[in-house]
Amino acid sequence: MTDKKHKHHEPKEEQAPETPVEATEAAAPEQPQVDVAELMKRLEEAEAQVAEHRDGWQRAQAEFVNYKNRIQRDAETSRANMKGDIIQKLLPVLDDLELALANRPAEDAWAGGIELIVRKFQSVLESEGVKRIEAEDQPFDPNFHEAISHEPNADVPSEHVIAVVRNGYVLGERVIRPALVRVAQ
């Protein structure tokens, strides 16, 4: 036991500390030389591909927004057309009621009720955006008027409406029914 306690340790040979570069080279396997030009080329190709994908994505987004707007516009147009078609079917009823009022006998109680119905009917049409085409004494416009006759008339200028035979109506910018008119020659 005494041998163990008194055993003298001999100092190891001191080695010079390794530099960081030498330590890295010793620890890592030898790396292949990297060609910077090749890496730059690959980076440019990757950036070009990213730009191409971004452009494609932006185009797709724009096309989708345009598609949504077109669908919405088509739906609004379809609703307006359906509304116009329904109103167009109801206009003859209004015409008949107005004709009944124009030819009502004096002092009949039912005539007051018919007049009330006509006013309600007209207010419903107005609330839906339907407007009567003003035609009497106006210049003839084939976009809004349909001529049923051309008549000589000294009191009305040529190509002006003499009288309205049947009222015409517009819904917004759309002519639901042109006014039937007599036109001065």
DSSP state string for 35-74? -HHHHHHHHHHHHHHHHHHHHHHHHHHHHHHHHHHHHHHH
Q: pTM of the entire structure?
A: 0.61
Tell me which of 34 and 90 has the higher pLDDT: 90
Mean pLDDT of 86-93: 94
Is the pLDDT confidence value at 108 over 80? no
Q: Rounded to an integer, what distance in angstroms lies between the CA atom of residue 29 and that of residue 22? A: 12
- For the chain, the structural domain boundaries read 131-185
Look at residue 19 and tell me whether its pLDDT is greater than 80.
no
Question: From residue 38, how far is each of 34, 41, 84 by CA, in Å?
Answer: 8, 5, 68
pLDDT exceeds cutoff 70 at 149: yes
Residue 124 has pLDDT above 80, yes or no: yes
Interval 16-40 mean pLDDT: 65
- Starting at the edge strand found earlier in the chain, the sheet holding 161-166 runs 145-151, 179-184, 161-166
Among residues 153, 147, 157, the alpha carbon closest in space to that of 182 is found at 147
- First CA to last CA across the chain, in angstroms? 145
CB 148 within 8 A of CB 180: yes
- What is the C-alpha to C-alpha distance for residues 123 and 166, in angstroms, rounded to an integer? 19
pLDDT of residue 150 exceeding 80: yes
Contacts of 182 (CB under 8 A, 6+ apart): 147, 148, 149, 150, 151, 161, 162, 163, 165
- Tell me which of 3.40.50.620, 3.90.79.10, 3.40.630.10, 2.30.22.10 is the CATH number of domain 131-185: 2.30.22.10
